[in-house]
Chains A and B, each alone.
Chain A
Amino acid sequence: MTVFKILLRIPWHLLLLAGILALVGSLALYSASQGSWQPWAGRHAVRAIVGMALVVCIAFIDFSFIKRMSYVFLAAAILVLLAVMVVGTGLGVSRWISIGGMNFQPSEPAKLSVILALARYFSSQPHDRMRSFVWYLPAFAIIAVPFAMIVKQPDLGTALMLLFGGLVVVFSAGLPWRYVFGSLAAVLAAVPLLWLQLKVYQKARVMTFLNPETDVLGAGYQITQSKIALGSGGFFGKGFLMGSQSQLNYLPEKQTDFVFTMIGEEFGFAGNIFILLIYLLITIAILRISFRVNSRFAQLTCIGIGMMVFLYMFVNVAMVTGLLPVVGAPLPLISYGGTSMLTVFIGFGIVASAIVHDRRQS
């Protein structure tokens, strides 16, 4: 396949949409630092450009190579997660690992490797086997091991994202409906057990979510201030750099988890809806690719990655609008944070590779 053909097949519309989000992110981070490219906005923009270049590079990698390597990726991810447990850094938690001065959060790429491993597993199974629950057990193991390790870090938010991302792949692979409902029941039954595993601050977050006004200056502070910032933005917002909640530091974590709130304060309902629509377009674009690719592996991988990005967005927005507890989920491509952005772009790269190298396209 010629370089020209590859370039032609790359899903540029996906890159365009990602670029818009990264641009919005840069502007938001510029505002978050009171109108300065330091310390976040500039680096965010550079990373986005690097990330988009990375998508193009990955598109050149033969998709069958990615398929072959998928179990290796999973093994590597698990090893790195193990390493984090030993040498991880972070305040009372071990989420990050330092490589040459750069902090790296291994739970992010772990999600991708789980999606790839699951896709690989289901693509290699003959269809008639897929009716028996036994054949789903290895798939659940692929999800459960990294999930448990990330919960231990502890990073409940990322772990749950990994869990749901994985379950979406299992669901797309054709899990019979009876098992779908059976698992839902099992999850509900597991809630009390999970509760016991939670750290005190995690429990506080959940309690605060259920009743944020009880502790306005304590654990409920973040969500209360977030709702004030969003609500005071109105339809068109207070204007760029004019968000009083954000500019006066009432809004916590405005460069990471609460960046959506800040955009909402400065650009209002209109700005927020615009962002939601971009995410929806990205998700649908990737799902559309999943319908066009030939192999089951490619199809499942695309669905997994598309839904992963969507779930991220959904959990983040639901969290800052007070619909879900504050679990710590970034807004993909907009929140400041290298690992999460890198993961999303690698995911888009894999999607690009899937369509570029698809048999049916040629």
Chain B
Amino acid sequence: MKKVLFLFLGILASCGIPYDGETIVTLEASIKNASGEPLPFQIATVSGSADFDYSDFGIYRNESNALGILKFELFSPKNRAYLQFENSNNFLPLSIAFDKSSFEMFHLNLGVITLFQPNEIESFNITLNPASGTSNLISIDVQAIKYESYVNLTDEMNNANPELNLSYTLKKNQNFNLNYQTQNNFTGAISSFSIPLTMENSALEYTITY
């Protein structure tokens, strides 16, 4: 009986109206290639998670202008929605999840979105070496031009406990900084480190010893 009830509730939820017609929001981004040049005429779509039919995928479909600026005026999604780029010119897929909470004053500026081709990126992996036994690694921040196929800007992501990410995909041929913090188990003192690194044409590995 419970299963039937959950199935019924699930069907009801999927039949919901995906957009709030009484709220209009603006989504904006600057689309660039790996060299930092504006990418005009890149087609992107926004779709609500409760769209009735895949053939309605193009309700929100727009392309970047001559300066690479992509702009959507849209009814605010009631649940999670996705900005996705149509696969063109061999650029790698990219999806950005957002919801009502992602907007401030009805506006969400995603800044620069870099579209990469497969030959423009390489992997960067971090290995942990807790040699001292007296400290914990508490944060890692890779300040580089990165490729992420999925970016989550929803409330759910903001409230989640960040896990230490040890694998990245970075643009080739760039200098970047690896920042990390350790905390002494006995004193609670936090130490910050910034390591300048260079990503060349092949995969890169770095070991953090603490």
Partners in one complex: no
Interfacial residues, chain A to chain B (CB-CB below 8 A): none
Interfacial residues, chain B to chain A (CB-CB below 8 A): none
